[in-house]
Structure 1
Amino acid sequence: MRADRLLSILLLLQVHQRITAKELASRLEVSERTIHRDMEALSSSGIPVVADRGTGGGWRLLEEYRTRLNGLNENEVEVLFMGLPERVLRDLGLQKASEGAQLKLFTALPTMYKQRAEYARQRLYIDSASWRNTEEATPALARIQEAVWQDRKLSFSYRRADGTYVERVADPLGLVVKGSVWYLVVAIDDSVRTYRISRIKEAQVLDEASQRPPDFDLASYWKQSLVDFKAALPRYYVTVYADEYALARLNQSPYVHRIEQMERLDGEGRVKLVIRFDVEMEAHDFLISFGSHIEIIEPDTLREHILQTARNLLSFYERKTSVSVPLDDEQVDQGQR
């Protein structure tokens, strides 16, 4: 622990040029007395640490004692300091390690590049969380990560979409985080499969070493699996007429990326759209919310489905309004006269 602290002190001195014992003690969560002992240890090992007395004083390194990191251009420096999203690092238990690595890298940069690193850090922040805060619980992630990092076989229970559980023993190949969702890529029975980690229970790291296909590349596999997944999705196309209000709403919804065709109808103030959905029920539930602002042209089955839903709603509310409503005080008074 002390060796880590001494290194941290050295790096902080290189970053800040001058820093007080009180500030160091606060950052490293030790006493000022401990900091003074650490400074003596650094000095004894030949590192030129100097204490400046008085206002504005503190500990500093002699100017000639600096490390340098050469061979990086400005763009490469900026990319290095953009970093991974905090949530990904937190889930993997690497947030502290990332902070330490950033500090060490920053101190090793030539002075001219330190400004570019800080420039990038102040102008880009990656937030991987969704607006709806739908982060999934992944209690098995730490154990799975251990198996992946140590190249050990993994046994686990997996909950299928229907709620049933299956038992698996697999060779873990890698972890993928997409948005806020973690996935485990494994090899089972000479095939590569993907499992959603939030559905994994009772993961156990086995003593047996895992087997990794020699030509396997995680990034290439994931990119191809996305292509295959999208290609296998069902497709349900709907042709509609939409007014300006409906078009504005569509442009602000996720379905704007599913508009396959758009044709403006001259003189009518409407547009003809072809929208892609997965299934009819999805199209029904979304399009009915537009009311009369969207007219469904085809398919006829969807048009009839929405018409029937509208009739059912009308009948429902007509029955509700036919039930006697309690009179207010004024109506009661008028009835008594």
Structure 2
Amino acid sequence: MRADRLLSLLLALQSRGQMTARRLATELEVSVRTVYRDLEALGAAGVPVVASGGPGGGCRLLDGWRSPLLGISAEEATALLAVSAGGPLERIALGEALPQARLKLLASLPAASRDRTNAAAARFHIDTQAWFRSPELVPHLPALVEAVRQDRRLRITHDARDGHTTTRTVDPFGLVAKAGVWYLVARSARAPRAHRVSRIAAAELLPGIFTRPADFDLAGFWSRWTTEFEASLDRLPVTVRLTSAGLAALPEVLGDTTSAARATSDPEAGWHRLVLHFDSPLAACRRLLGFGPDAEVLEPAEVRQQLLDKARRTADRYGEAAI
């Protein structure tokens, strides 16, 4: 524990220059007396620490001395500092390591470029959360992180989309954050699969250690899994025609920014014809209702009829309310 504190003290002095013993004590959450003892320990270990009292005094390292903790360029440090600001790591235990990691990165740079690098990194911010969506509740995420880091088996209770609940013992291979949503990649009796962390109702670390396959690649698995998952969805083609206003609203209503480019237009009639894909007739109806009169389903007939029925029932409901 003291070794970690000594390293933190050294990094603070190296990255920030002169600091008072009281400020160091506050940051390290120790007493001022402990700070002075740690400074003596650093000096005994060969670190040139200088302490001066009175107004304007403080603790600092000898001018020009720098610990060779890392060999890293200013450009590399800027990139790492930028991507470590915010994001999914703040929601898990690894987020506690970020301030220390950033401090080490800054401490590894010469004093002349330290402030410039830190300022450059502050000009980039990565927001991984999707629009119009609050972060999902993931109360069991810390336990999953520990299991992944320690190769510990897990017993998880998972609530599926269809309402069924299952409990199984799994080998957790890794965690993936996609657009603000966490997934646990784990193996049970079958091949590895992804579990949405927000649907994990319970997670218990088991004493057993599993052997991770030497050839397992998390990024490669995720790429294959997402491709297969997307291919399993949106299998129902629905031919629609949209007004110009409907076509312009396509990204807002469906979040689809590519289908508009495939639309065929009839300038005289003012309509745009295209094929959209959905999970089911019900999903198609619910989403296409968002276009109002700016969309018309041409086929399949089942979707067209369901949409007509829902539109009539909606009109009847509002008609009743007006009476």
Task: Normalising by structure 2, report the TM-score.
Answer: 0.85
Task: State whether residues 156 and 168 of structure 1, in contact with CA within 8 Å, keep that contact through their aligned partners in structure 2.
Answer: yes
How many percent of aligned residue pairs carry the same amino acid?
39
Query: 1:64-115 CA distances to partner (integer Å, 9 max, x unpaired)?
Result: 3112467544543322212346453243312232211221121012346535
The aligned residue for residue 274 of structure 1 is: 275
Task: State whether residues 143 and 205 of structure 1, in contact with CA within 8 Å, keep that contact through their aligned partners in structure 2.
Answer: yes
Q: Distance in 2 between matches of 1:178 and 1:39?
A: 44
| Mean Cα deviation higher: 101-110 or 25-34 | 25-34
CA offset at residue 229 of structure 1?
0.8
CA offset at residue 214 of structure 1?
2.9
Task: State whether residues 239 and 272 of structure 1, in contact with CA within 8 Å, keep that contact through their aligned partners in structure 2.
Answer: yes
| Mean Cα deviation higher: 167-176 or 131-140 | 131-140
Q: Distance in 2 between matches of 1:187 and 1:114?
A: 44
Q: Distance in 2 between matches of 1:310 and 1:144?
A: 45
Q: Distance in 2 between matches of 1:216 and 1:124?
A: 33
Amino acid at match of 1:103: L
1:143 aligns with 2:143: yes
Task: State whether residues 85 and 128 of structure 1, in contact with CA within 8 Å, keep that contact through their aligned partners in structure 2.
Answer: no
Amino acid at match of 2:188: I
Cα 1:307/1:211, change in 2 over 3 Å = same
Which consecutive segments of 4 or more residues in structure 1 shift more than 6 A? Answer: none
CA offset at residue 52 of structure 1?
4.3
The aligned residue for residue 60 of structure 1 is: 60
Cα 1:168/1:247, change in 2 over 3 Å = same
1:187-206 alignment to 2 at 5 Å?
187-206=187-206
The aligned residue for residue 7 of structure 1 is: 7
| SS in structure 2 at match of 1:40 | helix
The aligned residue for residue 251 of structure 2 is: 251
The aligned residue for residue 224 of structure 1 is: 224
The aligned residue for residue 312 of structure 1 is: 313
Q: Distance in 2 between matches of 1:103 and 1:196?
A: 33
- Report how many residues are paired: 322
1:4-43 alignment to 2 at 5 Å?
4-43=4-43
Query: 1:135-156 CA distances to partner (integer Å, 9 max, x unpaired)?
Result: 3333333333333222233233
Cα 1:139/1:305, change in 2 over 3 Å = closer
CA offset at residue 53 of structure 1?
5.0
Task: State whether residues 241 and 273 of structure 2, in contact with CA within 8 Å, keep that contact through their aligned partners in structure 1.
Answer: yes
Q: Distance in 1 between matches of 2:2 and 2:38?
A: 8
CA offset at residue 275 of structure 1?
2.5
Cα 1:228/1:49, change in 2 over 3 Å = same
| SS in structure 2 at match of 1:238 | strand
Amino acid at match of 1:183: Y
Amino acid at match of 2:18: R
Cα 1:196/1:62, change in 2 over 3 Å = same
1:84-233 alignment to 2 at 5 Å?
84=84, 86=86, 88-111=88-111, 114-115=114-115, 117-233=117-233
Where does structure 2 lack aligned partners over 5 or more consecutive residues? none
Amino acid at match of 2:182: W
Q: Distance in 2 between matches of 1:166 and 1:311?
A: 40
Task: Normalising by structure 1, report the TM-score.
Answer: 0.82
| SS in structure 2 at match of 1:252 | helix
| SS in structure 2 at match of 1:18 | coil
Q: Distance in 2 between matches of 1:253 and 1:147?
A: 39
RMSD: 2.9
Highest Rg: 1 or 2? 1
CA offset at residue 228 of structure 1?
0.9
1:43-82 alignment to 2 at 5 Å?
43-53=43-53, 55-68=55-68, 72-82=72-82
CA offset at residue 252 of structure 1?
3.2
CA offset at residue 126 of structure 1?
2.0
Q: Distance in 2 between matches of 1:75 and 1:254?
A: 39
Task: State whether residues 15 and 107 of structure 1, in contact with CA within 8 Å, keep that contact through their aligned partners in structure 2.
Answer: yes
Q: Distance in 2 between matches of 1:318 and 1:163?
A: 35
CA offset at residue 284 of structure 1?
1.8
Task: State whether residues 143 and 204 of structure 1, in contact with CA within 8 Å, keep that contact through their aligned partners in structure 2.
Answer: yes
